[in-house]
Amino acid sequence: MIDLATFEHPAVTTINGKHWFHELSEEAFPGQAFSLEIEEVLYHTKSAFQDILIFKSSKFGNILVLNGIIQCTERDEFAYQELITHLPMFSHKAPKRVLVIGGGDCGVVRELIKHSNVVDNITMVEIDDMVIQLSIKYLPQMAKFHNHEKVKIVIDDGFKFLSNLSQVDESEKYDVIITDSSDPEGPAEEFFQVNYFKLLSNSLRKNGIVIMQSSENIWLNLDYVSDLKHKAQKVFPNVEYSQCYMPSYTSGQLGLLIATHDVENNLKVPTRDITEENEITDKFKYYSEKVHEASFVLPKWADSQINK
């Protein structure tokens, strides 16, 4: 049991006798912060890679924080997990082999299991095993399929793992790659550069699809989002920007980049008929065919820069 009265963390302060977590980042979110009241600090440590904090919020349930940035909350995690997973999965005709880079909370894996009637195997590559183990304990509704028969977990650097894939046969590459990394600081910094998109490209099967969170959104840093899409377009001829709405991410949004070499694939519309997979879609809380299409619709001022 961690005593809140004596607990010290740069993101935790006491105001009028209540303890608050403040998501502060002058680099990512200059001039603003997102705050949540803390009921209980469940765990805190510094792994070999990052600062890990897990606390129970008065309104958002258990929350995973890495390096002072919220990764997921029990209240709204399903929105991000569903969109980043089902956009590429329903945009691919037959996603048999799927790779997840990052995603230590196992939320993406949970969503991928909903496609187990189509998917043959899922590989998740996470650099920090401690994130997985803590998610199993404190976020059990997310990390419920870490030991599923179709799931293989590899503890390794995602960049290194992808580098090794460039020399393998087509059969060992992937139909869908989901990059669920942390923000571009520390071990995740390489995941937002042109070389990373090249590694993703070399790890895909023909007509494969990749998706990644953009770290920023149109309200926080439109120039960054536009530049990231431009980097992706240096490698992939077909790139689109989508957005997910959830209150626990600063400014209430998170952007996603989805890309493929298949120029005939309209990523904005599901390729597989969702209505024929009611067993899957009945399990969705956020994703639907309409949400798939609407997630690509941007307000005019942002669309004119990102999709110019």
Q: Name the packing angle between helices 194-202 and 222-233 (round to 10°).
A: 40
CA distances from 108 to 56, 164, 249, 304 (A): 22, 23, 17, 31
Q: Report the C-alpha gap between 119 and 204 in whole angstroms.
A: 15
Burial of 238 (0-12, 13-18, 19+ CB in 10 A): middle
Given the residues 175, 180, 183, 262, select the one marked as catalytic.
180
| Tokens, residue 258 | 């989805």
Q: Tokens standing for 37?
A: 């009241």
Q: In whole angstroms, what is the distance from residue 18 CA to residue 38 CA?
A: 8
**Is 180 assigned a catalytic role?**
yes
Active site residues: 180
